[in-house]
C-alpha cells in the first residue's frame, strides 16, 4: 500500500515475512515431502517422513523412469493436450473472426448460444457424452476425449478471441482488402499474427485444462495403453498402495511437466488462468 | 457473467469490410462458423438435452434412446434419499467454509503481498503453483500425507499431541477435504485479488493515509469496498466450482467413509457408471445444472448487478 519511496517511514516488515513464511511452508512442505520421500525406502519414510534420507536411494525414481507405462502416459497426455489445444484454438479463431468482423442476421443469437455454454458444467453432460461416444465408436479413442474437450473449450476461447479481434481497427482490414486480400487471407496473414498474445492466453488455458482433465479420460479409456497421466497416477496408487515412497516418486515425476511449464510461462499461465476464469 | 460483459458492447457493430459484402459473404460466414457450431451442438448442447430427456426414464444407457418413461419419479426418488440430502449439506458446508475462511485468507495474503516486502514476487509464484498441479496429483499427494498412522500430518502434529484419522474418519473428513481445497485454490483467489487491487489507484489510498487513516481503516473503508466486484466474482467462481466438485473427492475419499464426504457429482458417477442407472444419474445431473443456473442468475441479478458497468470488463481488459 505504500508505493512512495520517500516520506513514508520505513516499517518493520518482519511480521509480514513471518506470515509469508508460514504460508509458504504450508504450500511447499507437501511437495518437499514428496521429493525427498521418493529417495527413501518406504519403511524409513514412515519413521522419518520429513528428514533427509539416511542414504539417498534413487531406485524409486529410476524404476518409474525405466517403466514403459510412465512414458506412454506422458505421451498420451501430451498428444491429447496438443491436439485439443490446436483444435480448440483453431475452430474458435474461425468463429471468433466471424463474430468479431461480420455483421449478419442471427449473429447475436449464435454468439449468445456459445456464451451460454459457459454455464454448462462438464459433469452435467458426462453421462450422455459417454453414451454418445459409445454409439460413435469413440470410446477408448483419444479423439473422443479431444473432440469433447475442444467442444467444452469453445465458449471461453471464442469470447476471448472475439474480444481481441474486435479491438483491431477496421482500417487495417480495409487496407488489406484494398491490397487484394481475401477474407481468409486477412484472417490468416494479418489478424492471427496480430492476435498472438490472445492466442497464447487461450492456448495456455486449453493446454492446462486438457493436461489436468480427469473425469473425461476416466470414463472414456478402459485400455491401459491409452491412459493419460492423471489416470496412470490414480492406478499406480492403487497398485502400490503400501509402497508410499514409490508413489511419491511417481507423483514428483508427474508434477515436473506442469511445474516446468509454469516456470517457463509463469506470466502467461497466471494471466491466462485468472483472467480466463474471471471472464467465464 | 460473460453474457453480461458482452451484452452492451454487442450493440455497436463494426462496419463490415467492403469485400465481405458480396455473394461470397454468406459462404465465408458459414464455412468459418460451421466447425465450431457442429462441435458445440453435438458435444455440449445435445448431451445436456439428452441428460434432461433421460432423467424422465428408467434407463440403463443401452439400446438407443430410453423408452421406459417414468415422469418425475427419478427426482422424487432422489429427493427422498439420505445421500442426496447429505450431498446438499456438504455443498453448503464447503461453500460456507470457502466464503468464511478460504477467501478471506486469500484476501489477507493478497494484501500482504501487495506490500513492499522483499521476495514478494517469489511468494506469489510459490503460492500460485498448487493451482497448476492437477487435482489427481494433489489428491494422491494429500491422501498419503493424511493417511492415518504413518502419514506426514500425524507425524508433525504428534508434537502437539494431536493424532487423527483425517480422511478415514467421518468427523474429520470434511475439514480435511477443505484443507486440501484451500491448499490448491487459495493462490488462485489471491491472484484475482492482486489483479483487482492493482486496478485501484494508489492515490486514493495515499489520500486516506494523508488524512490520518490507519492501515486497517484504509483497508476497511477504501480498499475493501473498491475490491467488491473482484470479491463477488471470486465468490461466484468458488460456488460454481463447488457445485460440480468431483476430482478431488473421488481421489481422496470416493465420497466415503460411508458417504460422509460425497458430493452430487460423485453420487451421479456412482449411479451412472457403477450401477448403470443412467436415468436416475441423469436426474442428479439435471439438479446440478439447475442449481448452477439458478445460482448464476440470482447471483448476477442480486449481487453483481451494479458491478457490471466497469469492474468485470476491466478485469478482462488486458486480454
ipTM (interface predicted TM):
0.88
The answer to whether B140 faces chain A, any CB pair under 8 Å, is yes
8-state DSSP, B113: H
Mean pLDDT value of segment B229-254: 92
Is B233 within 8 Å of B312 (Cβ atoms)? yes
B23 — pLDDT class (breaks 50, 70, 90): low
Which of A5-14, B60-69, B216-225 is predicted with the least confidence, judged by mean pLDDT?
A5-14
* pLDDT given at position A96: 93
What's the mean per-residue pLDDT of chain A? 87
Lowest mean pLDDT segment, chosen from A34-43, A134-143, B307-316: B307-316
Which residues of chain B are within 8 Å of residue A260 when distances are taken between CB atoms? none
Instruction: Please tell me which of the candidates B2, B36, B128 has its beta carbon nearest to residue A159.
Output: B2
pLDDT at B306: 65
Q: What is the pLDDT of residue A59?
A: 87
Question: CA distances (Å), A240 to each of A60, A66, A243, A246, B276, in order?
Answer: 12, 16, 5, 7, 29
Those of residues 36-95 in A touching chain B at CB distance below 8 A are: 45-46, 49-50, 91-92, 94-95
Identify whether B257 is preceded by a cis peptide bond (ω within 30 of 0): yes
Which among B41, B132, B22 is positioned nearest to A268, based on CA atoms?
B132
Q: What is the Cα–Cα distance from B165 to B167, expressed in whole angstroms? A: 6
pLDDT-based confidence at B147, cuts 50/70/90?
Answer: confident
Which pLDDT score, from 0 to 100, does residue B163 have? Answer: 79
- How near does any CA of chain B get to the CA of A57, in Å? 20
Q: Is A140 on the interface with B (CB under 8 A)?
A: no
* pLDDT digit string, tens, across residues A182-224: 888 888 888 899 988 889 889 998 999 999 999 999 999 988 8
Q: Which helix (H) or strand (E) holds B68?
A: strand B68-69
Query: What is the predicted pLDDT for the residue at B308?
Result: 55
Cα separation, B262 vs B242, in Å, equals 12
Are B123 and A20 in contact by the 8 Å Cβ rule? The answer is: yes
pLDDT at B166 over 70: yes
Q: How far is B277 from chain A (nearest CA, A)?
A: 10
| Interchain CB contact of A191 with B (< 8 Å) | no
Contact A271/B281, CB-based, under 8 Å?
A: no
**DSSP category for residue B219:** I
Q: What residues of B are in contact with residue A214 (Cβ under 8 Å)? A: 134-136, 247, 250-251
Residue B316 reports pLDDT greater than 60 = no
Question: Number of residue pairs across A and B with CB atoms under 8 Å?
Answer: 332
Q: What percent of chain B has pLDDT over 90?
A: 46
Q: Which one-letter DSSP state was computed for residue B20?
A: G
**Which pLDDT does position B7 carry in this prediction?**
40
pLDDT mean over B264-287: 91
Distance of alpha carbon B34 from the chain centroid? 30
**Is pLDDT at B36 greater than 80 in this prediction?**
yes
Residue A83 pLDDT exceeds 90:
yes
**pLDDT given for residue B256 in this prediction:** 79
Q: In Å, what is the CA distance from B230 to each residue of A164, B182, B193, B313?
A: 22, 19, 6, 11
Residues A149 and A155: their CA atoms lie apart, in Å, by 11
Residue A248 in contact with partner chain B when CB distance is under 8 A: yes
**Which residue is closest to B263 within chain A, CA to CA?**
A123
Window 233-252 of B: residues touching A by CB (8 A cutoff) are 233, 237, 240, 243-244, 246-247, 250-251
Instruction: Find the CB nearest B33 among A16, A49, A95.
Output: A95
Tell me the pLDDT band of B307, cut-offs 50, 70 and 90: low
Please indicate if any CB of chain B lies within 8 Å of the CB of A225: no
pLDDT single digits (tens) B81-126: 999 999 999 999 999 999 999 999 999 999 999 888 888 899 999 9
pLDDT band at A279 (very low <50, low <70, confident <90, very high): low
Measured between CB atoms, does A109 come within 8 Å of chain B? no
Whether B314 shows a pLDDT value over 70: the answer reads no
Quick one: pLDDT at residue B2? Answer: 37
Mapping DSSP onto H, E and C, the string for chain A reads CCCCCCCCCCCCCHHHHHHHHHHHHHHHHHHHHHHHHCCCCHHHHHHCCCCCCCCCCCHHHHHHHHCHHHHHHHHHHHHHHHHHHHHHHHHHHHHHHHHHHCCCCCHHHHHHHHHHHHHCCHHHHHHHHHHHHHHCCCCCCHHHHHHHHHHHHHHHHHHHHHHHHHCCCHHHHHHHHHCCCCHHHHHHHHHHHHCHHHHHHHHHHHHHHHHHCCHHHHHHCCCHHHCCHHHHHHHHHHHCCCCHHHHHHHHHHHHHHHHHHHHHCHHHHHHHHHHHHHHC
Q: How far A95 CA lies from chain B's nearest CA (Å)?
A: 5
Query: Would you say residue B250 has pLDDT above 70?
Result: yes
Binned at pLDDT 50, 70 and 90, residue B309 comes out as very low
Find the CB nearest B47 among A119, A125, A215.
A125
Mean residue pLDDT of chain B comes to 84
> What percentage of residues in chain B have a pLDDT greater than 70?
88
Measure CA B121 to chain center. 26
Q: Which of residues 68-127 of B touch A (CB under 8 A)?
A: 109, 111-120, 123, 125-127
Q: What local confidence, expressed as pLDDT, does residue A273 receive?
A: 80
pTM summary value: 0.87
Chain A nearest CA to B74, separation (Å): 16
Chain A residues within an 8 Å CB radius of B59: none
* Residue pLDDT, tens place only, B125-141: 999 999 999 999 999 99
Largest CA-CA distance found in chain A, in angstroms, rounded: 76
Percent of chain A with pLDDT over 90: 44
Calculate mean pLDDT across residues A261-273: 85
Cβ-defined contact of A1 to B54 (cutoff 8 Å): no
Residue A183 to residue B118, Cβ atoms within 8 A: no
Q: Which member of B119, B144, B237 has the closest CB to residue A247? A: B144
Selected for mutation to probe chain A from B19, B66, B203 (highest A CB count within 10 Å) is B19
Beta strand pairing call for B57-58 and B68-69: antiparallel
Q: Which three cell numbers stand for residue A263?
A: 516456470
Amino acid at each position: 500500500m505504500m508505493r512512495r519511496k520517500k516520506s513514508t517511514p520505513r516499517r518493520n516488515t518482519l511480521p509480514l515475512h513471518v506470515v509469508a513464511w508460514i504460508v509458504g511452508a504450508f504450500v511447499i512442505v507437501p511437495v518437499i515431502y514428496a521429493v525427498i520421500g521418493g529417495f527413501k525406502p518406504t519403511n524409513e519414510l514412515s519413521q522419518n517422513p520429513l528428514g533427509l534420507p539416511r542414504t539417498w536411494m534413487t531406485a524409486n525414481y529410476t524404476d518409474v523412469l525405466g517403466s514403459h507405462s510412465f512414458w506412454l502416459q506422458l505421451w498420451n497426455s501430451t498428444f491429447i493436450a496438443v491436439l485439443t489445444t490446436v483444435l480448440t484454438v483453431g475452430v474458435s479463431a474461425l468463429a471468433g473472426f466471424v463474430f468479431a468482423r461480420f455483421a449478419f442476421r442471427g449473429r447475436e443469437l449464435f454468439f449468445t448460444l456459445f456464451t451460454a455454454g459457459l454455464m454448462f458444467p462438464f459433469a452435467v453432460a458426462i453421462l450422455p457424452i459417454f453414451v454418445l461416444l459409445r454409439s460413435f465408436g469413440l470410446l477408448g479413442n483419444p479423439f473422443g476425449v479431444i473432440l469433447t474437450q475442444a467442444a467444452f473449450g469453445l465458449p471461453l476461447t471464442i469470447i476471448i478471441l472475439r474480444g481481441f479481434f474486435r479491438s483491431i481497427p477496421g482500417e487495417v482490414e480495409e487496407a488489406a482488402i484494398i491490397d487484394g486480400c481475401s477474407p481468409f487471407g486477412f484472417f490468416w496473414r494479418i489478424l492471427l499474427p496480430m492476435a498472438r498474445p490472445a492466442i497464447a492466453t487461450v492456448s495456455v488455458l486449453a493446454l492446462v485444462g486438457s493436461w489436468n482433465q480427469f473425469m473425461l479420460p476416466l470414463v472414456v479409456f478402459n485400455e491401459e495403453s491409452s491412459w493419460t497421466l492423471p489416470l496412470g497416477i490414480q492406478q499406480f496408487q492403487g497398485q502400490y498402495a503400501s509402497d508410499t515412497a514409490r508413489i511419491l516418486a511417481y507423483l514428483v515425476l508427474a508434477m515436473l511437466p506442469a511445474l516446468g511449464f509454469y516456470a517457463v510461462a509463469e506470466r502467461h499461465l497466471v494471466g491466462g488462468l485468472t483472467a480466463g476464469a474471471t471472464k467465464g | 457473467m460473460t453474457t453480461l460483459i458482452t451484452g452492451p458492447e454487442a450493440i455497436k457493430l463494426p462496419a463490415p469490410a467492403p469485400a465481405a459484402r458480396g455473394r461470397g459473404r454468406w459462404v465465408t460466414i458459414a464455412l468459418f462458423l460451421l466447425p465450431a457450431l457442429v462441435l458445440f451442438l453435438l458435444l455440449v448442447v445435445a448431451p445436456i438435452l439428452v441428460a434432461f430427456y433421460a432423467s424422465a426414464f428408467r434407463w440403463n444407457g443401452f439400446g438407443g434412446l430410453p423408452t421406459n418413461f417414468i415422469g418425475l419419479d427419478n427426482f422424487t426418488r432422489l429427493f427422498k434419499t439420505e445421500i442426496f440430502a447429505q450431498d446438499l449439506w456438504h455443498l453448503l458446508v464447503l461453500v460456507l467454509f470457502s466464503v468464511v475462511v478460504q477467501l478471506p485468507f486469500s484476501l489477507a495474503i493478497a494484501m500482504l503481498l501487495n506490500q513492499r516486502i522483499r521476495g514478494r514476487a517469489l511468494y506469489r509464484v510459490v503460492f500460485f503453483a498448487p493451482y497448476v498441479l492437477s487435482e489427481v496429483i494433489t489428491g494422491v499427494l494429500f491422501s498419503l500425507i493424511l493417511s492415518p498412522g504413518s502419514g506426514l500430518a500425524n507425524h508433525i502434529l504428534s508434537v502437539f499431541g494431536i493424532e487423527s484419522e483425517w480422511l478415514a474418519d467421518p468427523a474429520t473428513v470434511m475439514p480435511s477435504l477443505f484443507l486440501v481445497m484451500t491448499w490448491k485454490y487459495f493462490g488462485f483467489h489471491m491472484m484475482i485479488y492482486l489483479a483487482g487491487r492493482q486496478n485501484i489507484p494508489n492515490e486514493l489510498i495515499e489520500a486516506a493515509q494523508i488524512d490520518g487513516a490507519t492501515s486497517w481503516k484504509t483497508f476497511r473503508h477504501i480498499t475493501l469496498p473498491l475490491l467488491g466486484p473482484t470479491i463477488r466474482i471470486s465468490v461466484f467462481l468458488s460456488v460454481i466450482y463447488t457445485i460440480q466438485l468431483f476430482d478431488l473427492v473421488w481421489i481422496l475419499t470416493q465420497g466415503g467413509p460411508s458417504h460422509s464426504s460425497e458430493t452430487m457429482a460423485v453420487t451421479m458417477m456412482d449411479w451412472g457408471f457403477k450401477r448403470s442407472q443412467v436415468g436416475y444419474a441423469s436426474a442428479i445431473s439435471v439438479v446440478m445444472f439447475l442449481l448452477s443456473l439458478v445460482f448464476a442468475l440470482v447471483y448476477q441479478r442480486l449481487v453483481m448487478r451494479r458491478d457490471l458497468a466497469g469492474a468485470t470488463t476491466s478485469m478482462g481488459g488486458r486480454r
